[in-house]
Amino acid sequence: MERSIGWLQNELLSEDERRHALAHELGVPFVTLERDDISVEALQMLPEPLCRAHQLVAYKTEGDTLEVALLNLQDLGVLEPLRQQLRKRVVPRLTTADSLRRALLLYQKTLKEKYGAVLTQSSNPRTMLETLLRHAMAQQASEVHIDTTGRGVLVRYRLGKQLREAMQLPAAGAGVIGAVRSLANIGSKTLPQEGRFKADLGFGVGVSVRVSSVPVVGGEKLILRLLREDSTSKGFTLEGLGLHGAGATALRAALHDRKGLVVVSGPQGSGRTTLLYTMLDLLNTPELSLASVEKKVASRLPYVAQTQADPAGGLSMAGALRAVLRQDPDVVMLDAVADQATADLAAAAGKRGILVLAGVADERLFPAPDVLVRTGLVRKLCQKQTRATRTLERRHLEPLEPHADFAKVLAALKEADAIDKERIWKEVGYPAVTGCSECDGGYQGHVGLFEVVVGGEPLLNLYEDALYKAAAGQTSVAEVLRFAQEKEGNE
């Protein structure tokens, strides 16, 4: 009888009921929020990206107290860096998943109303730009596209891989373009240019913006690539990117040895640069001498001497690498090797005890790396949607048969305890895409595909890793087939 309470909690109670029981046990109030219970003033005291990421909302403020509803009390710690700015005593309340969903949907609505009013009525370009960035981040956009038209300024957001119209600003909205040009130090309106700037949006949330400007008939087009900088979050890990099992172990061992040549191969937009920066960040300590030679510095890292090549100014990638190597670094990262001279210098450096991390689109430039990682990218399934699984049909497997060893995928899934040890291939379940109110047709963000090659033998190739991630519930079979079709078309 001693196990009866635990048995009841585990087998009979829903997640919300367990949360309610926990609240009673800990003496924490439990609230069910309807729309009228949520104060818009309180809601906007916390940044929306942080609320969505950690499943919490501020819903009531009175005097020096801010009441925060959340699903997991451990997530309350993310607010610690914000206490000084809030100047309020934060008190927790456990709530239901439906309550939180209603609050986040209301947040989206109030953000749109609030930001829309500022963007259409403000006469201050800097205020308009900051408001636009806040709204883009709230929508989880990776890019902002700004086009001048005869009727005003068209603003679109890239959500996942799709470009969607966000708003149409009046002619006065052209001031946003001027603000971007000023902050990014872009001068000429008649030549394509690039620049960057950072914006501090308060509450420990900022954004690093890479700007591309291209003149078009009747004006110009700006693309702002957004890199979220949240002081409450940490950098990527290898597993966080999508590496797993023997592949993650082999790559981590190469980083631990701190010598040799690690080549990351993949086309633009495949996650290549993200992996390179993650590896460099994992090695980033004051005890090591780290350097990079980059075609375009995407992000600043402490303790790393970052050099940007400038062929037009007389500094080629090979020339910059020679100069960096004369300073005897422990680790060198190159983001985009495109010529044999640079590749030969990098390979020679790896042989004499330096750890070289090299990104490349054409892996033939490096015939014998110590570790080769091929990269790809698929859309990641929203983890909040209704979970349902199905087994694969013959028509799904046929396009993958020439490229994937299904037995290797099955073995990797069992080794990771992602499926039962006794399960056979035809019994493996794959997620069905259902979608929910918070995602883009069933997807949120992306997950990397990785083919780690050690000693000339791939552990799982890209097709097999895609199938693995689908069976593990990270992506869909439709995404696997789309990736396979695109890859075949590029070969």
Task: Using DSSP, state whether 69 is helix, strand or coil.
Answer: strand
In a domain, 111, yes or no: no
Check residue 118 and give its pLDDT. 60
Same domain, 166 and 35: no
pLDDT of residue 235: 53
Residue 122 lies inside a defined structural domain of this protein: no
Closest CA to 374 of 319, 449, 311, 293: 449
| Same domain flag for 334 and 432 | yes
CB–CB of 205/227 below 8 Å? no
Residue spans of the chain under pLDDT 50: 1-11, 203, 231-234
Q: Is 350 within the bounds of a domain? A: yes
Q: Find the CATH number of the domain harbouring 92.
A: 3.30.300.160
Are 215 and 252 members of one domain?
A: no
Answer with the one of 230, 251, 279 that is the final residue of a domain.
230
Any domain includes 149: yes
DSSP state of 370: S
Q: Please give the Cα distance from 138 to 444 (Å, whole number).
A: 13
Q: Are residues 43 and 190 in the same domain?
A: no
Q: Would you state the structure tokens that stand for residue 11, as one six-digit string?
A: 């087998």
Which of 106, 128, 145 is the last residue before a domain boundary? Answer: 106
**Domain encompassing residue 214:** 137-230
Look at residue 297 in the predicted model and tell me its pLDDT. 82
Phi first, then psi: give them for residue 6, nearest 5 degrees.
-60, -40
Residue 130 belongs to some domain of the structure: no
Q: Quick one: 100 and 207 in the same domain?
A: no
212 burial via Cβ count (<10 Å: 0-12, 13-18, 19+): middle
Domain shared by 244 and 217, yes or no: no
Query: Is residue 282 domain-shared with residue 413, that is, in the same domain?
Result: yes
Q: Is 374 helix (H, G, I), strand (E, B) or coil?
A: strand
- Sort strands 205-216 and 219-230 into parallel, antiparallel or unpaired: antiparallel
pLDDT value at position 438? 58
CATH number at residue 182: 3.30.450.90
Note whether residue 436 is domain-resident.
yes
Rg over CA atoms, the chain: 25
Same domain, 151 and 264: no
In a domain, 120, yes or no: no
Asked whether residue 329 falls in the same domain as residue 476, the answer is yes
pLDDT number for residue 90: 87
Say what the pLDDT of residue 3 is. 41
Q: Are residues 263 and 334 in the same domain?
A: yes
Residue where a domain terminates, one of 230, 265, 291: 230
The pTM assigned to this predicted structure is: 0.60
Residue 151 φ/ψ, nearest 5 degrees = -95, -5
| Closest by CA position to 117, among listed 170, 153, 77 | 170
What CATH number should be reported for the domain holding residue 358? 3.40.50.300
What pLDDT is stored for residue 234 in this prediction? 45
Q: Does one domain contain both 220 and 263?
A: no
| Residue 87: per-residue pLDDT | 76
Do residue 325 and residue 400 come from a single domain? Answer: yes
The answer to whether 59 touches 92, Cβ cutoff 8 Å, is no
The answer to whether the beta carbons of residues 120 and 113 sit under 8 Å apart is no
When divided into structural domains, the chain yields a total of 3
Confidence (pLDDT) at 330: 94
